[in-house]
Structure 1
Amino acid sequence: MPARAASPIVTLNSNLLIPRIGDEQVVASSWEHFLRDRPLSGGGVRNVVLDSWRRSRSGEVDPGCSSAPVASGERIRLLRDGSRDLYEAARPVLETLREILRESGTLIMLSDPSGTILDLNGESRARNAGEQINLAPGGCWGEALIGTNAIGTAIATHEPVQIYASEHYCIDVKQWTCAAAPILDPLGKTLLGVVDVSGVKETFHGHTLGLVISAAKQIEGVLARRDAEAHGRLLQYAMDGFSRHGNDCVVLFDHRGRIVRTSGSMQQAREMYGVRLPFEAGSQVAALNLGLSPDERSCQTPGWLRPEWLHPIRSREGELGTLLAIPIGQPARQAVNLPPLHSADGAVSDVFAEIIGTSAAIATAKARARRIAPLDLPVLLLGETGAGKEIFARAIHKASSKPEGPFIAVNCGALTRELLASELFGYSEGAFTGARRGGLPGKFEQADGGTLFLDEIGEMPLDMQPHLLRVLQDGVVVRLGDTRERKVAVRIIAATNRDLQTDAGVGRFREDLFHRLCVVSLNLPPLRERPDDIDAIIAHLNQRFSRKYGCPPKSLAPEVLHHLLRYRWPGNIRELQNVFEAMFALSDGHRLDGSLLPPHIAAAAVDAVLARGEVTPAMAAGRLAEMERAAINAAVASAQGNLSMAARNLGISRSTLYVKLAAMRNVPSAESLSPQ
C-alpha cells in the first residue's frame, strides 16, 4: 500500500522575499519530490514558490513545457490599444530602468493583467536567449500557461516576487531568474499590469526586486496624477447630466469604466430593474470600458443594462466617460440656468472677492473654490481651527447652481451623540421624553434644495457615521422614532482640522464615508502662511467694529501693528478677530496703543524678532545674555517705560524684571566692550 505524501517541511527561510542562491540544489531536489508527490525532505522552498507550484499542478501545467505560448500580432496590437494608458505611463519609467540596468544583461518588460508581454527592452544577446522560451513581445506568462514565474506569480498574488532558477515550475525556464511587481489601479486597486526584469540565472541580484517595486510605484503615481486631471474634466462636463437627472439613480464612469461618482438610490434601481452595480468608487464595469473594442464591450454587457440609459460624456478631445441614468419612477427635474449674481452697479459679483486677502496662498484657495462651486459635488474643506472654513463654505454655496437654496450649518463636535442624531435626522412625535409635539425636521430636511455644512466632521461619533453614509448614498432620511423615508437633495460641504485619511487608515473614521465626503477637497492656508494679508484683515476689522460700536475707525500705534504682524496666530483669523475686537472695545480714545496688547502676543512678538534673525551686531555673537538684554529692552520700549506692562509682555513678574534691569546696569553690554 503506497504511503501518503507527508506535509512539506517549512524551514526558517520559507518566508524570505528574496531567493538564496545557495538553496538552488535543495530547491531542485524539492521540485522533483513535489512532482512525484513525495515529502519535501530537504526543505528550503519559500512559501510563495511552494504555493505557486501547487497552483501550477492544480492547473495541470506541463512541467516539461519548453516555452510560453505566443499571442498573434493582431492580438498584441489590440492588447496594446486596450492598455494604452498603462503603456504611455510606463514608457519613461522603463526607459530609466533600462539605463540603470544597461550593462546587466537583463530584459526589462511590461505585461498586461493576463501576463502577455506588451513591451520589452534589453541587449541583443539577452533578447536572443529570451526568444528561445518566448520571453518576448506577445509571450503569455500567466501561471496557468507556464507555471511558476515572476510575472505569472505576481499576477496570482498581486504582490512583488523574485523567482530564481530551480524555483520555476517548467524545466526549460529554470536557467532564468526574474523579478516582477504588479501595477495596481490607484483608484480601484485592480491589476493593470506587471513590470518585470529577467535574465539568465547568472544575472541574479537581490536589488532587482527593489528596482521593479520602485518602477511599479512610479508608474502608479503617473497614472494617479493623470486620473485626477481626467476626472476633474469629466466631472465638469458631467455636471449638467447630474442636474438633468436629479431624481434618478445616476452613476458616472470614466473612460476605463470605473465608477467616479454616484447619486440617487441604488437600492431602488436594484428593486425596479435588477441593477447589479458595485458601490465603491473605482470599481470597474467592463461593458463601459472605452479602451475595449465594441465587440468585447458587447460581450460583457449585463442583461439589465439598457442602451437608452447611457449618455456619453464628450469634450473636444473625445469621449471622457459615460453617465448612466437609471429612471426610478419620478420625473426628472429640468436643469435651471440661473442668472449670474449682480452687484448694485450691474457688474457680475464674485462672492470669493469678499474673502479678504491677495497673497498667493489665499488666491490659490479662492481659484480652486471658484472651480468647485458650480459642481454639484461633496466638498471637504481642510484647514486649522479659525482658518475660515465656514466663510469658504458659504461662498461656495452662493456661487453654486442653487444659491437661492438654504445654507444650514451643524457643528458635529459641539453636540452629544444623541443631540447630533436628532439635529441631523430630526425626530417624530414621542421619539423620546421631551420630544416636540408633531416631531421636528432635521438639518438634512431643512437643507433640502441647498447646502448642509458639517463642521468638525472628524469629531462625529464612529457609530453614527453609517447613518450619515446611508443618507449621502441614497438621499433618504428617516427621522428618529419613525419609519417613513423622506427624499432629500442636499449638497454636502464638510470641514475638519484633522487628517481624516490617517484616521480612516487606523479605524477612527469610516473609510467609505471619507471617500464619499472627499470627492473634491480644498485646503485653506493658515494665517501664518499668508502674513501679507494680515494688514488688510486688520483694516477690514477696524471698519467692521467701528460700525458695531458706533465710533470712527481707530489708528494703531506703530508698535501695536508691529506686534500684530509678527505674531504667528495659532488660532488663525478667529483669534485675530477676537484679539482686535477686545482691543478696540477696551480702548478709551481713538488710538490703540501697546498697553492694550495681550501679554502673550507682545512677548511672542519679541521672540519672533529674535527667531527671524533680526539681531544687533552684539547679539550676532550668539550670547544668551545679549539676547535676553535685547528682549527686555524691546519690551520696555514697547511699553513706553511702563515696567509693569513690560513685565506682563515678557511673561515674568515685575520683581524679576527689576532684578534683571539692575544686573544689566552693572554688566556692560557686548556692544560696549567691542573695539571701536
Structure 2
Amino acid sequence: MPFSRCGTLIPRIGDEPLVASAWERFVQDPSLDVAGVRSVVLASWQRSRSEAVDPARHSAPGAASDRIRRLQRQNRDFCDAARPALEGLRDVLQECGTLIMLCDAGGTILRIDGGSGVRSAGEGINLAAGGCWNEEVIGTNAIGTAIATRTPVQIHANEHFCLDVKRWTCAAAPIIDPLSGALLGVVDVSGVKETLHGHTLGLVLAAAKQIEGELARRDGALHERLLTKAIDSFIRYANDYVVLVDARGRVIRANGNAPLALEMHGVNLPQGIGTQLPGLNLALADIDRTCQRPQWLCPEWLHPVKDHEGTLGTMLVIPLTARQNRPAISLPAAWTPSAESDAFGDIIGQSEILQATKARARRLAPLDLPVLLLGETGAGKELFARALHQASHRSLGPFVAVNCGALSRELLASELFGYVDGAFTGARRGGLPGKFEQAEGGTLFLDEIGEMPLDMQPHLLRVLQDGIVVRLGDTRERRVSVRVIAATNRDMQGEITARRFREDLYHRLCAVTLQLPALRDRPGDIDAIVQHLNNKLARKYGCGPKQLDPAVHQALLSYRWPGNIRELQNAFEVMFALCEGDTIDSSQLPPAIASMVKNSLAIPPSKSMALSSGRLDEMERQAILNAIANSHGNMSMAARTLGISRSTLYVKLAGMRDQPGNS
C-alpha cells in the first residue's frame, strides 16, 4: 500500500482491511506502526485515546428532551438559515439512503432528515436529535473530527474509533461565523458504509458555504437595523466608552477611550469587530447570561436596543465622565453645591409637596428601619433610596440595587441569595455571593418589590426576620446586617387582597412608608429640573447650555408627564442632543408632547381669555374659573393647569368668595 495516500481527503473502500488491522494494533498499543492510515484519521485516533474514549462504546450519548428543545431554541436563527441548504441536500440525496444532519458547535444534532429505514438504523447508535458526536465522547467520526480540525472531513467504516460505528460512512463540513470566525456547527451526511461516494464531501462543503452565505446576508440586514436604531445613542454618549453588540453578543461597533475604561473600571474587552462579549448572547437564558458576565460589567451599563420586531442587540455604555477633561461651563448660582453636605440636595425642586417629602425622608434616614417607597414609575424612587442611604449611619457601607420585576424567579433567587459551585448548570466556578451579602453593612434597595414572584416571597421574609442567608445549593447559614429599602408603583393593599403579595412580608418591608409626589403634582419644579438638566447635559456634551423657544418652554410646563422625572429627563436629553444650534425649538419636541401642543392650539379661546386688558385680579379670577370649568370641577387638575398647588388654589378661591359681590 503506497504511503502517499495517508494525507488524502477521500477514503477508499479497498483500504478497509488495512485500516482495520491498523486500528487493532493501535487499540492494543498506540506506539506500534499504523502505517497506511490517513493522517487526519490517525490524529483523531490519538485524540480519542488521550480522551480515554472506550473503543467498545456502542452509541453516542444523548440529551434529555427538554435540553434538546433548549438547544434548538438557542440555535433557532442558525437552524432557520440552514434550512434551504439542508432541503437542497435532501432533494439531491433522497434516493441514496442517507441521513442529513445539522449539529451545533458541541457536536449535538439539532436537526436530522432522511428515510425511515436509515433513521431507524441511525437511532441504534444515537444518530438522532440530541445525540452528541463530539470526538471527546464517541471518538473519530466526521462530525466530531470536523469540529476538532475545523476542516471538511470524510470518515469511512473502519476509520471510526468505536467498534459499533464502523459500519457507517459519513462526511461533514464546519460552518464558520462569517463575522467572528467562530465555529457555529457542522453539516453532515451519514449512511451505512455501502453508501460511500466521493462526491458526498463536496456536497456537504457546498451546503456549509451556502449556510455561511445566508448567515452573512441575514447578519448584514440585522446589523443595518441595529446601527440605525443605535446611532442616536452614539451621539448621546459621545463622551463615554460605547460598545454595540448584536443579539448574539458580537461586537458591531465600539467608540471611545478603551484605555481609560480599563483604568477607571477594570474593563477588559476583547478587541475587534465580531468578537463575542461573554454574557450578552440574548439566545441564552437569563441565568446563563448572568453567570457568564465578567465581574467588571455593571448591569446598569447595559441598554437594550429594540425596534418593532423585538430586541436587536445591546448597547454597553461605560461611563468616563468623571475623568474626562471638559470645557468649563459655569453653573447658575442657584445650583452651585452648598458647603453643607445634604444627601437630598440632588433631588431638585422647591415645591411645598417635595419639600415636605424630603423633610420626612431626612427624619427617616437615621432610623435603621425598613422603608417602603411608594410612587409612580419615574418619580425618583431610587434617587430617594440612595439619599436615605447616604444620610444614614450605614453611608460608608455599600448601596446595592436589585430590580425584582426585571428578573425571572430562578435568576432573582441566585441574585439575592447567591449560589455555590455546581448549584446549577453554568454556575460560576467557586460560586457567587448574593446581593444580601454584597450589601453587608449597607443598604439593599429592592425596586419593583410588588412584582416579586409569590413563591419567592417566603424566602425573602425569612432573611428579613432572621438576618440569615443560605446560598443556593448550600446548607451553610451566613448572617447579614443590611437595611432594606423597597419600592413599588403598585397598590400593595390591592395586591394583598388579590393574594399576589404576602401580608406578613408587606408589614416587614414597610415599617415606615414614604409617598413620592408625581411630577404633575409639582409643576412649579419643572423649570428648576429643566435648568439643572440643561447645565448637566452641557457638561456632558462639552458645549454651552441651550436656550428654550417659548413654545417649547410652555409645552414642557403644560405636559402631564405620565413617566414623571425619568420621562422629562429622557425627552430633554433627546432634544438637547438633536439640537444643532443654540436654541431648542418645537421641531425637536417628542411626538407625544408636540401632539398635545397641537391639540391645545386647536381649542378655540373663550371670550374671557380673549381679554387683552383689564384688572389683574379680575383676569386671575377668570383664569381660575375657566380652569375649574375646563377640568369639570376636578380641583387637582385645575391646579395643575394653573401651575399652582391645590392648597394655593383653595386659598385663592376663599379670597374670591370674600370679595364684594360674590356669594
Q: TM-score, normalised by structure 2?
A: 0.49
| TM-score (normalizing by structure 1) | 0.48
